[in-house]
Amino acid sequence: MNFNEEQKMIQETASKIAREELAPRAAEVDRQQIFPRYGLQKLAEAGFLGITIPQAIGGGGSDTLSFVLVAEAIAKACPSTALVFVTHGVVSRALVIAGGDEQKKSLLPAMTMGKKLAAFAVTESSSGSNPFAITTKAVSDGDDFIVNGTKHFITGAEEADVYLVVLRTDQAKSPADFSALIIEKGTPGFSFGKKEDGMGLRGTSDGELIFEDCRIHKTSLLGVENGYLAVMPKFVGLGMVGIAGVSLGIAQAAVDAAIEHAKSREIMSQPIGQYQGVQYLIAEMSTSLAAARALTYSAAQQMDGPPPPSPLPLYMAKLYATEMAIEVTQKALQVHGGTGYSRELPLERYYRDARGLTLHFTPSEMLKGMLGKMLMGMPPF
Ligand SMILES: Cc1cc2nc3c(=O)[nH]c(=O)nc-3n(C[C@H](O)[C@H](O)[C@H](O)COP(=O)(O)OP(=O)(O)OC[C@H]3O[C@@H](n4cnc5c(N)ncnc54)[C@H](O)[C@@H]3O)c2cc1C
């Protein structure tokens, strides 16, 4: 892929931050479940927390491919930081696309500077793959809504400041009538519950958001009431290619480590890279990674159109890249033998981090179902 000058500069800057600021802290972020605020601030200083926000409203005005290049570069060092970066980017784009002038003015500059971090809250304990089962409800009361419900597994939960919360209002008449509210931390009736203790991506501070008679002014609606499904594809696609980018970064780190190890580890007086079994593993990993990268970059490019983006390349990139990262990190661990299994090396962490990505932003099985139906000309839902 030939990058333009801006994309090259963005990739180099993100890689430098990843190498110098994120990599030295990544193991600790994982072990101690530290939310990577330090690294996020470094990304904000480089302008990356508002990278796709138009320049006219204080952002970087860069394209979707640049966003993916940043996610990939960061994930090579610290996937937890990369996942929070992607989530923040998705909510930023949602505000750009569907937010009112007041919301844009009051939130986007602070989000670009990293003074306010964003979280994206859809999942509930009974509605993960099936968002139609969402029960969080907003009941109209004059100029306000009264919100009740609990979201779980939300990236950045207690650490974020601004929350895009998907729910139903009492005016919902059809299963497709979802709404979204922008709710800020500190609002009375909004608190935090259980924090997840996940196997990977342990710096992302996933947890519960609890709304108990939480009064929210109606100007906090994102777009129009019951209009969430109409605007959602325009920003959720950024999450899909963003997660694909995170998968590329993790897989690249694993392949690099495997090649290095294959060249330096000697068994029976020769480097293990001299053995055909190991050569096959290196070749398979690198080929899968290259294929995922090609799919992801082209899906990102088509998002900026024209013509209007198709969901098919986004679903394919998310599906293939996340599954690829599991396969590649597993093989890279194998190349390392027992040391790959040890927590002294990052191989086991790469594997654990990759594992979560096939679940978030639509699990693989759901993507396959939607792709299969769309490819046969059927409606995806
Ligand atoms: C690291 C991480 C971060 C996350 N961050 C966020 C966040 O910031 N915000 C947020 O809202 N959510 C977040 N989530 C939640 C995530 O989006 C959900 O886990 C996901 O939607 C799946 O829902 P579930 O866990 O309830 O699984 P379930 O819906 O219970 O599904 C269980 C399994 O059944 C399969 N399945 C379900 N339906 C079908 C079907 N029709 N056909 C075939 N297979 C099916 C699924 O693919 C899955 O493998 C995060 C999850 C993870 C792991």
Which residue's CA is the nearest one to ligand 1's atom 7? 154
In short, whether 246's Cβ falls inside 6 Å of ligand 1 is: no
Other CB atoms within 10 Å distance of the CB of residue 343? 11
User: In testing the pocket of ligand 1, which one of 35, 124, 360 has its CB within 8 Å of the most ligand atoms?
Assistant: 360
Is residue 228 within 8 A of residue 168, CB to CB? The reply is no
Contact 362, 287 (CB under 8 A): no
On the question of pLDDT at 306 being above 90, the answer is no
Smallest CA separation from ligand 1 atom 17, residue: 360
Residue 83 has pLDDT above 90, yes or no: yes
Does residue 202 have its Cβ closer than 6 Å to ligand 1?
no
Q: Is the pLDDT of residue 309 over 90?
A: no
The CA angle 242-124-156, to the nearest 5 degrees, is: 45
Q: What is the pLDDT of residue 266?
A: 97
CA separation for the pair 26, 39 (Å, rounded): 10
Give pLDDT, residue 308.
84
pLDDT band at 229 (very low <50, low <70, confident <90, very high): very high
pLDDT at 305 over 90: no
Amino acid, single-letter form, for residue 50: G
201 in ligand 1 pocket by Cβ < 6 Å? yes
Chain center to CA of 295: 17
Write the pLDDT tens digit of every residue in 107-163.
Answer: 999 999 999 999 999 999 999 899 999 999 999 999 999 999 999 999 999 999 999
Pocket of ligand 1, candidates 87, 359, 368: which has the most ligand atoms within 8 Å of its Cβ, to mutate? 359
Question: What does the pLDDT average to over 46-51?
Answer: 98
Separation of alpha carbons 196 and 154, rounded Å: 9
Q: Could you read off the pLDDT of 233-287 as tens digits, one per residue? A: 889 999 999 999 999 999 999 999 999 999 999 999 999 999 999 999 999 999 9
Confidence of residue 307 (pLDDT cuts 50, 70, 90): confident
pLDDT in tens, 165-198: 999 999 999 999 999 999 999 999 999 999 999 9
The proportion of the chain whose per-residue pLDDT surpasses 90, expressed as a percent, equals 97
* Atom 37 in ligand 1: residue holding the nearest Cα: 129
Rounded to the nearest whole angstrom, what is the distance from the C-alpha of residue 62 to the centroid of ligand 1? Answer: 30
| Tokens (6 digits) for 62 | 């860069």
Residue 57 alpha carbon to ligand 1 centre in Å: 34
Mean model confidence pLDDT for the chain: 97
Least-confidence region, from 43-47, 55-59, 103-107, 179-183:
55-59
The pLDDT assigned to 27 comes to 98
366 within ligand 1 shell (Cβ under 6 A): yes
For the CA of 87, the nearest atom of ligand 1:
8
Helices H / strands E in the chain, number of each = 12, 9
- Once rounded to an integer, what is the mean pLDDT over residues 193-219? 98
- Express each pLDDT in 286-301 by its tens digit: 999 999 999 999 999 9
- Structural domains in the chain, CATH included, are 5-117 (1.10.540.10), 120-220 (2.40.110.10), 228-375 (1.20.140.10)
DSSP 337: T
DSSP state of 33: T
Distance from C-alpha of 317 to C-alpha of 31, rounded to nearest angstrom? 30
Indicate whether residue 128 lines ligand 1 (CB < 6 A).
Answer: yes
Q: What is the pLDDT of residue 381?
A: 82
Average pLDDT over residues 323-348: 97
Tell me, in angstroms, the distance from the centre of ligand 1 to residue 338's CA: 32
pLDDT, position 329: 98
Burial class from Cβ neighbours inside 10 Å (0-12, 13-18, 19+) for residue 13 reads middle
Q: How far apart are CA 144 and CA 218, in angstroms?
A: 5
Site to probe by mutation for ligand 1, drawn from 117, 123, 150 as the one with most ligand atoms within 8 Å of Cβ, is 123
Q: CB–CB of 336/261 below 8 Å?
A: yes
